Amino acid sequence: MARGVFFNVPLHGHVNATLPVVRELVNRGEDISYFLTEAFRPQVERSGARFHGYDSTLEKPGGVGFLPARMAGESRHVLPQLLEAVRAERPDYAVYDPMCLWGRMAAQLLGIPAISFRPTVANNGSPSGPFAAFMRNRAALFPGVFEQAGKELAALMQEHGLPPLDLPRMMSHAEPLNLVCVPRAFQPQGDTFDERFVFVGPSIQPRGDTGDFPFSHLEGGPALYISLGTVFNNWPDFYRMCFTAFGGTRWRVVLATGHAVNAAQLGPIPDNFLVRPSVPQLEVLERTSVFVTHGGANSLMEAFHYGVPVVVIPQMAEQPLNAQRVAELGLGLALEKETVTVEQLRQAVDRVSSEPAFREKVGTMQQEVRASGGYRRAVEAILEFRARR
């Protein structure tokens, strides 16, 4: 029996994809520990891993912001809390999220063979790739943020005697094994990635959290699911826009608002709407005709797993890149948060639901997603890596 450790940031979009992998590793006899914040203890313990808690600056007032720029400060805060606990585990391998810089540093400092687990599209440092263009755009918009983040990263690495690092190198770093939770067909410039990158697709496994959700609401008409994810979802005006666009129509609408919005303050809720802070997303998508989404990679891959076309309204980080890829591949339509209108929203949903080309392209991607192997392929890759080491 080998021992592995998982390191992650306290964000559902980064954690959810790892849990089926952890559960499968445990079922195959691996001894797994998972380092996360207390809010994730129940999910981690249900996966069969030992939970190790840490305190995170990302859960303090002020929110996540531009996550890569927060990594130096987060690492300086988290690393001293757990370095000795990791050393005591004596792990044979470590699996970390690329945004979890302190996890990568812990592996480097303790000489643990490391695996990168990427919940979204990968970045191989190609200067002509979309990630490079995205970073150049962000650096031009926020030069002070990038300069300060670069200084903090350089100082942090120097303190620990590790090789110099800046934001672009942090974002493009590759380990000997990099698990990517999208199929290669969705990855921009997918044919430029070498054998170190294994495109396993999404980890789809029922979460057992349907609770008292009234699935009967989705009967009697085509189902429309609307969700902006778990982080940047405090947008009451958008939810009212949805009421105007789809209230009283043929659509049976499920609207997930997140916990920052009080549904009672949104005004009258149309009869064909079900509004909740959160919903069992996999089970809802299985019954959905169109998904209006923020474009997080997990949400997109879950939609494509069930053959659901999308309308993407990106909110943050890499989501504009995902939206661009969706449009390129004909898997749905992309709208801009700053300019979206009721009429645009209505027309986009009508188009992706009525034009056969969208569902045909999504059907092809569904086959790619399901053939990628998901959490089982990820586990096979981890065990092969461990055996080689």
CATH assignment of the domain containing 298: 3.40.50.2000
Is 333 within 8 Å of 312 (Cβ atoms)? Answer: yes
Do the bridges between strand 93-96 and strand 50-53 make them parallel or antiparallel, or are there none, so unpaired? unpaired
The list of the chain residues with pLDDT below 50 reads none
Is residue 209 domain-resident? no
Q: Do 260 and 318 share a domain, yes or no?
A: yes
Is 187 within 8 Å of 122 (Cβ atoms)? Answer: yes
Is residue 245 domain-resident? yes
Is residue 61 domain-resident? yes
Is residue 19 domain-resident? yes
Residue 217 has what pLDDT? 93
Q: Do 329 and 291 share a domain, yes or no?
A: yes
Is residue 134 domain-resident? yes
Q: Do 25 and 91 share a domain, yes or no?
A: yes
Is residue 207 domain-resident? no
Q: How many domains does the chain have?
A: 2
Q: Do 219 and 185 share a domain, yes or no?
A: no
Q: Do 158 and 290 share a domain, yes or no?
A: no
Instruction: Give me 54's structure tokens.
Output: 């840490």
| Domain membership of residue 132 as a residue range | 3-201+373-388
Closest CA to 296 of 275, 279, 312, 277: 312
Q: Do 55 and 184 share a domain, yes or no?
A: yes
Q: Do 296 and 325 share a domain, yes or no?
A: yes
Q: Do 182 and 239 share a domain, yes or no?
A: no
Is residue 208 domain-resident? no
Q: Do 261 and 124 share a domain, yes or no?
A: no
Q: Do 365 and 377 share a domain, yes or no?
A: no
Q: Do 253 and 181 share a domain, yes or no?
A: no
Q: Measured between alpha carbons, how far is residue 213 from residues 205, 210, 247, 275, 335 in Å? A: 18, 6, 21, 11, 29
Q: Cβ of 81: how many Cβ atoms within 10 Å?
A: 15
Is residue 206 domain-resident? no
Residue 170 has what pLDDT? 86
Q: Do 331 and 382 share a domain, yes or no?
A: no
Instruction: Give me the half-sphere count of Cα atoms (radius 13 Å) on the Cβ side of residue 332.
Output: 28
